[in-house]
């Protein structure tokens, strides 16, 4: 990625343009002396860049593309594969065209400044207090989850408190939209709301805000809201014992495959992506169970929200031995299977009937497979 930055810089210099760094700051608490800067298009979730930036006495200054994007900054981990797992809303910052964003402070609690958006957000006192409260609760909840069984009562209480804070945040967001419909802060806060609330708030913003830098995100949210409605309808048809939805997707050789091609064996559909940390983390155990039961079960990986090159490279890199199909950014199959998170795994019997759907990495799937095939 460093070469991409250098190529970008060289092209601009050849064009007679002198670039000014538009992302800088001073970061403490980085033992490796380097951070990883990743960016994504918030309108479609596609990765834009990933670069390792060496800190000079904690300081850095680089040039990033002048466009709408979400930037993640994390301390460079020893294990490169751990980078995706370390990304969270706490190290994510929104960059708008024309911004010169500064990030200062501890790497786990960076403070953004230098842009109109974050200046306006700083003025939203009520929201800032609630955001700090929800962030604090989330940190405690994450710690308690390390011993979930022991901390069940505490987690239940904390989740109740978090739900109350989120309800207050929704109220404050609507107040800000009503009082400041022409602010970037209002637009940004709308993007943080649940889809049904966001879709109802977007029309309250001034036209120049609706049609400005945030428009691609708003359009995506409206589209996602419609997809949610369709998934909810599809969910009603996903009943154990009923026929699983069919699909028609291409494999690595470019041949079209359908669910009927696998009839006669149990099928485990794995909706995944190379960008999904939890998907990648679960591959070793999936390989183990594929070797264990491949005479009676076929795994069919369905890659979503990836370019074809990323999919092909991912299959090779991770050595996926099962059938691999490419879905890309299409919504038809994921809507039919009501996929709302990644990974989602769908178990189908030899007659093409739905057995069970598993969302996320869970031992429940593997316990189900052991029970199913041990009894055969």
pLDDT digits (tens, 9 = 90+) for 56-114: 999 999 999 999 999 999 999 887 767 766 777 778 999 999 999 999 999 989 999 99
> 204 vs 13, which has greater pLDDT?
204
- Mean pLDDT lowest among 226-230, 255-259, 268-272: 226-230
Q: What is the distance between the alpha carbons of residues 362 and 33, in angstroms, rounded to a whole number?
A: 35
In the chain, % helix, strand, coil (3-state, to 5) comes to: 45, 25, 30
Which of the four pLDDT bands, split at 50, 70 and 90, describes residue 151? confident
359 close to 342: Cβ distance less than 8 angstroms = no
Contact 354, 348 (CB under 8 A): yes
> CA-CA distance, 254 to 326, in Å (whole number)?
9
pLDDT value of residue 10: 46
The mean per-residue pLDDT over the stretch 154-175 comes to: 94
Eight-state DSSP code of residue 320: -
**Burial status of residue 270 (CB atoms within 10 A of its CB: 0-12, 13-18, 19 or more):** buried
For 322-363, write each residue's pLDDT tens digit: 999 999 999 899 999 999 899 999 999 999 999 999 998 889
Structure tokens at 214: 């945030």
Q: Average model confidence (pLDDT) for the chain?
A: 90
What span, in angstroms and rounded, lies between the C-alpha atoms of 217 and 260?
A: 38
Instruction: Give dist(CA 127, CA 121) in Å, integer.
Output: 8
Residue 344: exposed, middle, or buried by beta-carbon count in 10 A (0-12, 13-18, 19+)? buried
Helix spans in 236-358 (H): 277-281, 283-293, 308-318, 332-336
Band (pLDDT 50/70/90 cuts) for residue 8 is very low
């Amino acid at each position: 990625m460093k070469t991409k930055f250098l190529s970008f810089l060289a092209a601009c210099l050849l064009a007679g343009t002198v670039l000014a760094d538009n992302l800088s700051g001073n970061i403490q608490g980085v033992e490796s002396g380097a951070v990883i800067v990743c960016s994504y298009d918030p309108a479609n979730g596609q990765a834009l860049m990933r670069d390792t930036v060496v800190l000079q006495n904690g300081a850095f200054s680089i040039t990033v593309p002048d466009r709408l994007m979400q930037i993640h900054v994390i301390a460079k981990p020893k294990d490169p594969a751990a980078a995706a797992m370390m990304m969270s809303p706490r190290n994510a910052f929104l960059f708008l065209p024309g911004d010169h964003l500064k990030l200062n402070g501890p790497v786990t609690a960076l403070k953004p400044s230098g842009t109109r958006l974050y200046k306006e957000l700083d003025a939203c006192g009520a929201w800032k207090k609630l955001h700090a409260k929800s962030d604090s609760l989330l940190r405690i909840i994450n710690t308690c989850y390390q011993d979930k069984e022991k901390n069940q009562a505490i987690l239940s209480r904390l989740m109740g408190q978090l739900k109350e804070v989120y309800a207050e945040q929704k109220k404050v967001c609507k107040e800000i939209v009503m009082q400041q419909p022409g602010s970037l802060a209002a637009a940004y806060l709308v993007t943080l709301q649940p889809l049904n609330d966001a879709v109802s708030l977007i029309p309250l913003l001034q036209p120049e805000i609706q049609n400005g830098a945030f428009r691609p995100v708003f359009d995506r949210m409206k589209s996602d809201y419609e997809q949610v409605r369709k998934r909810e309808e599809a969910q009603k048809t996903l009943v154990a014992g009923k026929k699983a939805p069919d699909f028609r997707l291409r494999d690595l050789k470019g041949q079209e495959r359908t669910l009927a091609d696998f009839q006669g064996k149990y099928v485990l559909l794995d909706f995944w992506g190379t960008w999904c940390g939890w998907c990648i983390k679960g591959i070793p155990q999936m390989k183990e169970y594929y070797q264990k039961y491949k005479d009676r079960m076929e795994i069919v990986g369905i890659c979503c929200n990836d370019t074809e090159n990323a999919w092909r490279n991912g299959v090779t890199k991770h050595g996926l031995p099962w059938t691999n199909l490419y879905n890309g950014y299409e919504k038809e199959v994921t809507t039919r299977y009501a996929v709302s998170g990644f990974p989602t795994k769908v178990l189908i019997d030899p007659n093409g009937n739905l057995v069970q759907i598993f969302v996320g990495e869970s031992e429940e799937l593997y316990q189900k497979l052991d029970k199913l095939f041990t009894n055969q």
